[in-house]
Amino acid sequence: MSIDFEELLSETKNSEDAGMFKNLIYNTKRADEIFTDDEIFFLKEKNTNEPQNCKSNEANYILSHGSVSEKYLKLREDANARYAKIETRLFTNF
Amino acid sequence: MQDMQKLKHDYLQTFNCAKEYFSVENQGFRQEIENHLDDVYSYVLQDTIEYCKDNRVFIKNFDDYKIVYFLAIKMYNITKNKAYMLAMLKILDILVKQDSDKFVSEDIIFKIILHIEKDTWQEKYGEYGIYSIFKACSKHLV
């Protein structure tokens, strides 16, 4: 199965990041080897319980902006504090 | 055919999102994932497909929760570095909080970490248990 690279490459036409471009080609070729119609669409008629867009809000943000959001970084700070507490608790357990 | 092209493109994008999450946790993760890209990229996709088969889920597009989960497990299997598993918990924790008002309790996270430290998480939670705990807590259904 061949890939129409045009759609994929259009994303990087204005990018000066050659590494990203190479990465895109490489990964797309890998995907071409792995994807098959049988594998992906095997349950088409049986179950559609995944929502249309099952990505998190953050993934949608990254796809638009290229990096994680301020909100994510703020929540990460909170998570770091929470995990530090848990690690202290773990330490006393061992 | 058009669906298949979109699906490939979607996987590539979602995989790169997952890589971004891990890079925020540790810049070294990005390089390490890149170093093992050949294996990781295909195995994470295959694991995701297996999950969808096992759970009778139709793949319309790729869920970043799943990709984060399988990426962590694959990198842990390759490097034996438990930091990937711990980073995965933190990433999923943050995503759940951002997507909903719910959260996974500290007690549950404590227990999961305990099993990760003891290498008993697979027998305790099964193949998809940790992912399911976080996903069930998000606004999306498992």
Q: Do the Cβ atoms of B141 and A49 come within 8 Å?
A: yes
pTM: 0.81
- Specify burial of residue B141 (Cβ count, 10 A radius: 0-12, 13-18, 19+): exposed
Q: Do the Cβ atoms of A26 and B12 come within 8 Å?
A: no
Which residues of A fall within a CB distance of 8 Å from B140?
51, 54
Q: How far is B111 from chain A (nearest CA, A)?
A: 9
* Tokens representing residue A20 in the block: 């990203």
> What does the alpha-carbon distance between residue A87 and residue A63 come to, in Å, rounded to a whole number?
33
Q: Give the distance, in angstroms, between the CA of residue B121 and the centroid of all CA atoms in the same chain.
A: 15
B75-111 per-position pLDDT tens digit: 999 999 999 999 999 999 999 999 887 788 888 899 8
* Tokens representing residue A36 in the block: 């098959």
Report H helices in B26-63: 27-35, 37-54
A43-58 per-position pLDDT tens digit: 444 445 555 678 899 9
**Which contacts (CB < 8 Å, 24+ apart) does range A2-9 have?**
A2/A32, A3/A28, A3/A29, A3/A31, A3/A32, A3/B5, A3/B8, A4/B5, A7/B5, A7/B9, A8/B9, A8/B12
Query: What is the band of A42 on the pLDDT scale with cuts at 50, 70, 90?
Result: very low
Low-confidence ranges of chain B (pLDDT < 50): 140-142
pLDDT of residue A30: 63
pLDDT of residue B14: 94
All residues at 6 or more sequence positions from A14 whose CB lies less than 8 Å from its CB, including other chains: none
Q: What are the C-alpha distances in Å from B32 to residues B16, B19, B21, B71?
A: 14, 10, 14, 12
pLDDT of residue A67: 94
> What does the alpha-carbon distance between residue A25 and residue B116 come to, in Å, rounded to a whole number?
36
CB pairs under 8 A between A and B: 148
* Short-list A83, A77, A1, A24, CA closest to B24: A77
pLDDT of residue A29: 63
3-state SS of B94-107?
A: HHHHHHCCCCCCHH
Hey, where are the domains in chain B?
2-137
> What value does the mean pLDDT take over residues A68-92?
92
